Amino acid sequence: MNEPTAEGRKLSRSFGWLALLGALLVIAGVIGLVYTGVATLTSMLLFGWLLLVGGLVGLLHAIESRGTNYFWLGVVVAALNIAAGVVVIKHPEGTAEALTMFAALLFLTGGVFRLVGSVVVRGPQMGWTLLQGAFGLLLGLLVLFDWPHSSLYVLGCFFSLALLFDGLGLIAIGVGGRRIVSMVSERLDEPAATTAPDEPSTSPEDGQK
């Protein structure tokens, strides 16, 4: 009986840490939505360091696999990642402007394709697809017309929203997991009602027979 209780406490503690991490992500997301410029620069620096570290790891992996047919391809890809990471870290503002322009073009092209596709196909979800296409087209135009000033808040807003929703998801998983573990532990701790089977009664007369 002690082993399931110990495992339940361990699982409950793990889900508690998961909920705490989610709360921290929610706080970071809210702060990022308030200070979108700082969130944009932070996301760019994180992106640059990820490229740099990934390039270094890829270079080490390529060196370990030297002599194979993919050695030079791995070296070239790792070098490009390292160079891109260094550029992003040194010029986060310019990188944010370029990525914001790319995001605006993606919104525009995605909105146009959804609008044209919904009109041509005319499926059962035509109204919803039209709404999505119009929203993407409008968002792309708004970002593009305010560029490069929009690069100060667009990426930071997306980054903060991602942190916020990821944090809410982790909180839901942590709280729900703790509740499930608590319910299972309560069921395991309930005393099992064991009934002994009825034994056949023997009388002295039966013994004499």
Average pLDDT over residues 155-167: 85
Residues 6+ apart with CB under 8 A from 111: 132, 133, 134, 135, 136, 137, 138, 139, 140
Q: Tens digit of pLDDT for each residue in 23-57?
A: 898 898 888 888 888 888 888 888 889 888 888 88
- CA pseudo-torsion sign 21, 26, 28, 29: positive
Predicted pLDDT at 196 = 47
Predicted pLDDT at 11 = 74
Report residue 197's pLDDT band, with 50, 70 and 90 as the boundaries.
Answer: low
CB distance 25 to 167 below 8 Å: yes
Q: Is the pLDDT assigned to residue 207 strictly greater than 60?
A: no
The secondary structure of 74-109, three-state, reads HHHHHHHHHHHHHHHHHCHHHHHHHHHHHHHHHHHH
Q: Of the ranges 11-15, 52-56, 163-167, which one carries the lowest mean pLDDT score?
A: 11-15
CB distance 95 to 48 below 8 Å: yes
| Strand ranges in the chain using DSSP code E only, listed in sequence order | none
pTM: 0.64
CB distance 60 to 41 below 8 Å: no
Predicted pLDDT at 43 = 84
Percentage of the residues of the chain whose pLDDT score is greater than 90: 0
Percentage of the residues of the chain whose pLDDT score is greater than 70: 82
Based on its alpha-carbon atoms, the radius of gyration of the chain, rounded to whole angstroms, reads: 30
Report residue 193's pLDDT band, with 50, 70 and 90 as the boundaries.
Answer: very low
Predicted pLDDT at 2 = 46
Q: Tens digit of pLDDT for each residue in 63-75?
A: 877 777 777 788 8
Question: Hey, is 200 helix, strand or coil?
Answer: coil
Q: Tens digit of pLDDT for each residue in 93-102?
A: 888 888 888 8
Predicted pLDDT at 130 = 79
Query: CA dist 155 to 118, 138, 162, Å?
Result: 29, 17, 11
Q: Of the ranges 37-41, 69-73, 182-186, 189-193, which one carries the lowest mean pLDDT score?
A: 189-193
Average pLDDT over residues 158-163: 84
Q: Using alpha carbons only, what angle is made at residue 162 by residues 94 and 165, rounded to the nearest 5 degrees?
A: 165
Q: Is the pLDDT assigned to residue 200 strictly greater than 60?
A: no
